[in-house]
C-alpha cells in the first residue's frame, strides 16, 4: 500500500561515515531550500545508520523535496527518499495533538539494554554483506576529500566569482583556477565533511543557463 504524502520524508542510502551531528547539518543544508524544517532525526545505531527523517512544516515542502532530491548524489551515493510511515512527534506538537507515551521511556531503556547486550556478543553477518562492508565507489569516483574538483564552468569564470558561491558554506578556504585550463577549478575546505556539504548544495548549480556545475571530490 502506498504511503500517503505527509510532512516527514524518510531518507536512506546515506553516506555512513558522518557522525550524527554532521549528518543532521548536511541534511538541513540540503533540504532547507524547499521550506521550513521542523526537525531532522538521525540515529547512529547499527540498524538505523545510513538513514534519517526530515520533518517539514507542511506537506508541500516535503513533496517538493522528495521529487527534487530523489537520487541526488550525497557524498557520491544516490539518496533514496520516501514519505515516512508515521507522524513524527514534531508534527504532532505543531498540530497540538502530541500525547507523551508514558511507556516510551521504559521501552527505550529496554531497547538500549538489548542493544548493549548485542554489542557485547559476536555480531551475526548481515544479509548480503558484513557490517563493515562499504558499497564500492562508482568507477572513477574519488573518495571524500576536503578539495572539490569543479567542472563545466563558463570560460569567463574567475576565482572571485566562484568564491562568492562557495564561501556561503562553513569551512571554505580558497578557490584555485588552473591557468590555461578554462572551465575547471579546485575549491578547498577545512575538511571532507564541509566540502561534502558544499558539493551537495551546489551540485548542478547553473552558473549560466547552459553551464550547470559538475562537482566531485578531487582525486589525491
Q: What is the pLDDT of residues 114-128, one digit of tens each?
A: 445 544 444 443 333
For residue 179, what pLDDT is reported? 83
Query: Hey, what's the cell of 216?
Result: 566531485
Element (H, E) at 27: helix 20-31
pTM here?
0.49
Backbone conformation region of residue 204, classed left if phi is above 0, alpha if psi is from -120 to 50, else beta = left
- 27: which residues sit within 8 A by CB, 6+ positions away? 11, 40, 42, 52, 54
Domains 8-95 and 147-217 share a fold: yes
Q: Is residue 163 scored above 80 in pLDDT?
A: yes
Any idea which fold 8-95 has?
A: Alpha-Beta Plaits (3.30.70)
Q: What sign for the dihedral angle of Cα 41, 55, 31, 9?
A: positive
Domain ranges of the chain: 8-95, 147-217
DSSP bridge pairs for 185: 150, 177
Q: What number of residues does the chain have?
A: 220
The answer to whether 199 touches 142, Cβ cutoff 8 Å, is no
Cα-only R_g, the chain: 20
Closest-CA residue to 23 (of 60, 77, 87, 89): 77
Please give the residue that has the higher pLDDT: either 189 or 113.
189
The answer to whether 208 touches 200, Cβ cutoff 8 Å, is no
Q: Is residue 19 scored above 90 in pLDDT?
A: no
Element (H, E) at 39: strand 37-41
Q: Is residue 192 scored above 80 in pLDDT?
A: yes
Q: Is residue 211 scored above 60 in pLDDT?
A: yes
d(C-alpha 96, C-alpha 106), whole Å = 24
Please give the residue that has the higher pLDDT: either 19 or 144.
144
Q: Is residue 189 scored above 90 in pLDDT?
A: yes
For residue 124, what pLDDT is reported? 41
d(C-alpha 156, C-alpha 127), whole Å = 51
Any idea which fold 147-217 has?
A: Alpha-Beta Plaits (3.30.70)
**pLDDT tens-place string over residues 92-114:** 545 555 455 544 444 444 444 54
Q: Is residue 62 scored above 50 in pLDDT?
A: yes
Amino acid at each position: 500500500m502506498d504511503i500517503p504524502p505527509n510532512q516527514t520524508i524518510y531518507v536512506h542510502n546515506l553516506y555512513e561515515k558522518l557522525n550524527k551531528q554532521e549528518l543532521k547539518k548536511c541534511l538541513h543544508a540540503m533540504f532547507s531550500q524547499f521550506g521550513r524544517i521542523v526537525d531532522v532525526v538521525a540515529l547512529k545505531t547499527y540498524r538505523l545508520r545510513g538513514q534519517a527523517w526530515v520533518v517539514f512544516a507542511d506537506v508541500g515542502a516535503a513533496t517538493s523535496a522528495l521529487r527534487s532530491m530523489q537520487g541526488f548524489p550525497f557524498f557520491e551515493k544516490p539518496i533514496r527518499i520516501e514519505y515516512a510511515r508515521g507522524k513524527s512527534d514534531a508534527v504532532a506538537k505543531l498540530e497540538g495533538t502530541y500525547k507523551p507515551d508514558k511507556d516510551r521511556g521504559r521501552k527505550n531503556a529496554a531497547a538500549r539494554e538489548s542493544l548493549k547486550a548485542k554489542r557485547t556478543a559476536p555480531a551475526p553477518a548481515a544479509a548480503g554483506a558484513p557490517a563493515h562492508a562499504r558499497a564500492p565507489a562508482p568507477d572513477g569516483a574519488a573518495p571524500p576529500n576536503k578539495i572539490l574538483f569543479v567542472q563545466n564552468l563558463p570560460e569567463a569564470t574567475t576565482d572571485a566569482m566562484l568564491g562568492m558561491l562557495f564561501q556561503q558554506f562553513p569551512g571554505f578556504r580558497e578557490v584555485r583556477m588552473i591557468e590555461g585550463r578554462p572551465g575547471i577549478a579546485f575549491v578547498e575546505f577545512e575538511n571532507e565533511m564541509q566540502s561534502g556539504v558544499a558539493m551537495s548544495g551546489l551540485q548542478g548549480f547553473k552558473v549560466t543557463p547552459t553551464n550547470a556545475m559538475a562537482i566531485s571530490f578531487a582525486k589525491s
